[in-house]
Structures are given as C-alpha cells and as structure tokens.
Amino acid sequence: MSNIRGRFSKPVDKIVATYTASIPFDWRLYKQDIAGSIAHARMLARQGIIADKEAETIIGGLASIREEIEQGKFEFKAELEDIHMAVESRLIEKVGEAGGKLHTARSRNDQIALDMRLFAREAISSTIAALKELQRALIGLAEDNKDTVMPGYTHLQAAQPVLLAHHLLAYFEMLQRDIARFSDCLKRVDVMPLGSGALAGVAYEVDREFLARELGFSQVSQNSLDAVSDRDFVLEYEAAASIGMMHLSRLAEEIVLWSSAEFNFIEIDEAYATGSSIMPQKKNPDVAELARGKTGRVYGSLMALLTTMKALPLAYNRDMQEDKQGLFDTVDTLLSTLEVFAGMIKTLRVKAENTANAAGQGYILATDLADYLVRKGEAFRTAYDIVARLVSYAEARGKTFAQLSLNEFKEFSSLFGEDVHSVTVESSLAARNITGGTAPEQVRRALADARKILEQK
C-alpha cells in the first residue's frame, strides 16, 4: 500500500499482496483496533504530543469508521494489507492531516500486540461463562437424576456401581480446572504493550499507565523487545482450549456410547440429533461426534502456532501473523461446542431403569466381597484371590453371586457368613462414604458444593 512503500520504486506483485494480506481475517479485530487507537489519541493529546483538537478529530473519525464497519458499509480492500492500515487509511481519507498523526509513537508491532490481547481478554471471559453454563447443565441433569445408579467403568468393563450424579460431577471437576486454567492465562494476557513501538520503545514521552487504565489493563509490559514478539498468551489459551476440548471429547464419547442401542442409557433430544440421507430409521448423535472430531482442529492450531514460533529470532517476524486464524478458530470452536453441549445435556433423557439394570449385571460386586472378607480379618491380597476363584466358579456355572448358596461361598472361605447376601449395589454405594466417593450422602454434598460454586460471582 502506497504509504508504506515509501522507499520502494515499485508496488508489490499482486500475488504477494494476496499472499501477505491479513485483512481477510484480521478485520475481525476492528473493535479492538479502534478502541486502542482512541485511547492512544487521547493519551497523545494529554501528553501534548498532538493537539486536543486533533485528538477530537481523530476520535470522532474513528468512531464513525467503527459505525461504517458495523453497518457493513466499510470496504476491506486486500491492498490495505491489514486492519491497522485499513483503519488508518480511511481515517486520513475522512479527516485529513490529523489522521496522519495517529501513528505517532506507535508501530503496527505494538498495536497488533494490543489488539490480540484485547481479543484474548474477551475470549477468556466468554469461555469461562460458557464453561459455567455447561457446568450448570451437568449439575441440573445430576440433580434431576439424583438416585440413578449405573455401572462405573474402567477399561469399558463394568467395575463398581456408581451414581450417575457422581459420574456427571467428574465432568464438573474437569470444567472447574479448565476455568482455573483460563483464569491463570488471563494474568499473562492482562499486560498493556503500547509504547513498545516497533521493538525498542517509542521516542516520545508517552504515558503508558494512562493507556493501561483507559484500556482496562492492570500492568504494562516491562520489555519492548519481548512485548512485540510475545505470543505466549495465544499459545496458553490454545493449550487450555486443547485440554478443555479433550474433556469434551470424553463426554462426547460417552454420549455416543450411551445412546447406542447396545448401551441404551440415554435418549438425545430430537432437536440435538440428526438423520441419514438414506437410512430412514437413523437417529445419530452428530453433535457429540462432531465435537469429538473438532478436538483435532483445536490440537492442530496449538501445534501450528508452536511450530510457527519455534526458533524465531527477536523481535517481530512476519511469521507471527499466523497467530490469528488459529486463535479465532479455536475460540469459535470451543465456544460453540460448549454452547451446543449445554443445550444437549439440558434436554438429555436418562433411562434410569436401563442404567440400574446394567449396574446389577455380572460380578460388579466382586470388590465388595473382597472388602467383606478383609473386614472379617483376611489380608486384602488373599481376599482378592478367594473372590477371583469364586468368580471363575460362578461364571462356569452361569450363576450370579446372588444365586450362590452360603455353602458354596464357604467352600472358598470359612469367613463367609449369612450376611454375605447383604452385599448389594446399595451397600456398595453406601460403603464409599468418604470425600470424593460415590456414597449418596457424599454425592448430595458434592452437588450442593457445586451449586454454591456456580452461584459465586
């Protein structure tokens, strides 16, 4: 674009202009860019670097450009390269020479660092809100199914009975950690970079603390070279998002499993299911599958930026322009997945009879029998071996534990008594009465705690 081609005698080749332009995606930062420029103009006037009158003209011009953009009247031409130049150009067009003063004591390098930080700050706040909304949906579902029993699985094999609410609370915990991670990331985002200039700091008496206050930051950056070449906060958002999507992919997997005919634990609401183009009977858990699939793109964007940043010498290098699309896509993917999951969970129907039925199958109480023997004085490892043989015996005869007689039990250990038949799913649940355990009392308390956390703030 003409005004930054000053020293060149010819324009960039067209394919170069297209190749290097970021305006097709960074237009999205217009709000951040204009907010930053307004604060900058205000500061320049306050410090006497430009006249008050000029600042007013600039600010008025910027406000009207924002309006043009929001009303769809602004043309984002590829020749304008990026959002900063697009806005500056239009400003000069609108208000003349005063517009040419806006870029005093500022470079695109610190300007884009600011825009990205403003964007990331908003993204974190939306992300935390969306995480809480999904937590709310999970807790709601858990409360509505407080007494529902289901098999707890390890290795996808029924292991021990648990409450469905306990299972759902596991996801509450994961999302709670996600929130903590995004909150921690915010501390690294909350740093105001303007004043760093191209790389060495600007040669004007700017008031960086004023800029920080105006733009709502609590710190200013401490090293100009670092400030223009730091994209840690983008990587950190993407890493937290990758872990978050991993959690959602696990929930997605379970929704897919549970809505299969074989598990048949839940019914997805029709508004959250889709059909097939050829098989009229199909009701597919597409939302869960797609979320599971989208985990890939979020991981991919993290890997992409890590790769891009590898081995770049200081300070700014054009490679870093590649930070934007990955972040935008990650924010969009995570937010939309959280939103659509909240809706799906809220409308999910649990088939409590089926889950309870599954929890009663097989030898799911084997651990409880071993614990029974331990309580009668057996060493755990020996008790384990006794029950293991008991399982083989019962399985060979096609019997459940309940169908075994006391005599049969006694053949394996004389410690078995009448009370062996009081080892049930219910007793198994109730026995796990410690913090974090699946006993109904514990789960009730955990649900109440979760509610309290959700009500905070």
The one-letter amino acid code at 119 reads F
Q: Any residues with CB less than 8 A from the CB of 204 and at least 6 apart, and which?
A: 47, 49, 104, 105
The reply to whether omega before 439 is within 30° of 0 (cis) is no
Residue 413: active-site member: no
Alpha carbons within 13 angstroms on the beta-carbon side of residue 204 total 22
Residue 218: active-site member: no
- Binding positions for a copy of itself, 50-79, rule CB under 8 A: none
- Figure out which of the listed residues 319, 353, 426, 441 binds a copy of itself, where binding follows CB under 8 A: 319
Which tokens go with 406?
């006391």
Question: Does residue 455 belong to the site contacting a copy of itself (CB under 8 A)?
Answer: no
Q: Any residues with CB less than 8 A from the CB of 278 and at least 6 apart, and which?
A: none
How many angstroms separate the CA atoms of 413 and 408, rounded?
Answer: 9
- Figure out which of the listed residues 292, 345, 412, 416 binds a copy of itself, where binding follows CB under 8 A: 292
Question: Does residue 37 belong to the site contacting a copy of itself (CB under 8 A)?
Answer: no
Each as own residue / partner, the long-range contacts of residues 446-451 (CB below 8 Å, 24 or more positions apart, any chain) are 446/166, 446/169, 447/139, 447/142, 447/143, 447/146, 447/165, 447/169, 450/135, 450/139, 450/169, 450/172, 451/139
Question: Does residue 360 belong to the site contacting a copy of itself (CB under 8 A)?
Answer: no
Q: Does residue 409 contact residue 422 with C-beta atoms inside 8 Å?
A: no
Per-residue DSSP letters for 183-215? HHHHHHH-EE-TT-TTTT--SS---HHHHHHHH
Sole residue written with tokens 């760093």: 196
Piece of 55-63, 119-127, 251-259, 404-412 that binds a copy of itself (CB under 8 A):
251-259
Beta carbon of residue 346, minimum distance to a copy of itself (angstroms, whole number): 11
Burial class (CB in 10 A: 0-12, 13-18, 19+), 261: exposed
- Figure out which of the listed residues 197, 217, 327, 440 binds a copy of itself, where binding follows CB under 8 A: 197
- Binding positions for a copy of itself, 265-284, rule CB under 8 A: 270-284
256 or 348, CB closer to a copy of itself?
256
- Binding positions for a copy of itself, 218-237, rule CB under 8 A: 220-230, 232, 235-236
Beta carbon of residue 24, minimum distance to a copy of itself (angstroms, whole number): 12
Beta carbon of residue 200, minimum distance to a copy of itself (angstroms, whole number): 4
Which tokens go with 61?
């011009």
38 or 288, CB closer to a copy of itself?
288
- Binding positions for a copy of itself, 150-179, rule CB under 8 A: 152-162, 166-167, 169-174, 177
118 or 383, CB closer to a copy of itself?
383
- Binding positions for a copy of itself, 424-443, rule CB under 8 A: 428-429, 431-439, 442
Site string for a copy of itself, 79-118 (x = CB under 8 A): -----xx--x---x----xxxxxxxx-xxxx---------
Dihedrals φ, ψ of 135, to 5°?
-60, -45
Question: Which residue is catalytic, options 183, 260, 276, 405?
Answer: 276
Question: Does residue 6 belong to the site contacting a copy of itself (CB under 8 A)?
Answer: yes
5 or 67, CB closer to a copy of itself?
5
- Figure out which of the listed residues 287, 331, 345, 425 binds a copy of itself, where binding follows CB under 8 A: 287
Question: Does residue 206 belong to the site contacting a copy of itself (CB under 8 A)?
Answer: yes
Beta carbon of residue 137, minimum distance to a copy of itself (angstroms, whole number): 13
Nearest to 320 by CA among 124, 116, 28: 116
Q: Any residues with CB less than 8 A from the CB of 299 and at least 6 apart, and which?
A: 242, 245
Catalytic sites, residue numbers: 155, 276
